[in-house]
Amino acid sequence: MRGSGASSSPVHVSSLCACERIHKPFHGALDHTHASAVAWTAAELARTAGVAPSTATEHLNLLVSGGLLAEERLGRHRYLRLADDAAELIERLTAAALMAEAALARELGVDLP
């Protein structure tokens, strides 16, 4: 699997995460990919995101070069999934956000749903 290149500096990865043009079309698809621990082809991700295959390929290449996605080539197909480091980062950020939300709710005396 490839997925961590020379362009995976924290600044570059942050810019990829912050760029709606890149991540927004694939947010739901990548959430599904992470949750089910499967890899998708670029065509499947393009269909799921509702974007043209050329748009998907461009954006996926940026996410692979930034180390957020890993790829595996099998024959003529390229399969993509969240890179292990990216999945761990997302899990840690989610846990931190939930703890911060709970602390704020306690401070404000509000019950969380």
- The amino acid present at 77, given as its one-letter code, is H
CATH at residue 62: 1.10.10.10
Whole-number pLDDT of residue 88: 77
Range of the domain at 29: 10-83
Whole-number pLDDT of residue 75: 92
The count of other CB atoms within 10 Å of the CB of residue 7 is 14
Spatial neighbors of 81 by CB under 8 A, at least 6 apart, are: 33, 34, 37, 38, 39, 40, 69, 70
pTM value? 0.58
Number of domains, the chain: 1
Domain membership of residue 101 (yes or no) is no
Q: Which residues of the chain register pLDDT less than 70? A: 1-37
Domain membership of residue 26 (yes or no) is yes
